[in-house]
Amino acid sequence: MQTVFVYGTLRAGEANDISEAAARNDIAAPTLLGSATVRGHLFDFGDYPGLVADEAGVEVRGDVYEIDDALVAVLDEIEAVYPGVEDRFLARDVMVKVDGNVVNCRFYPVTPSAVKGLPEIRSGDWVEHRRTR
**Which positions are catalytic?**
79
- Residue 88 sits at the vertex; the CA angle it makes with 110 and 37, to the nearest 5 degrees, is 20
DSSP label of 29: P
Partner residues linked to 104 by β-bridges: 95
Looking from the CA of 112 toward its CB, the CA atoms found within 13 Å total 3
Alpha-carbon span 126 to 128, nearest angstrom: 6
Cα 43 vs. chain centroid, distance in angstroms?
Answer: 12
Report the residue count for the chain: 133
Alpha-carbon span 22 to 37, nearest angstrom: 23
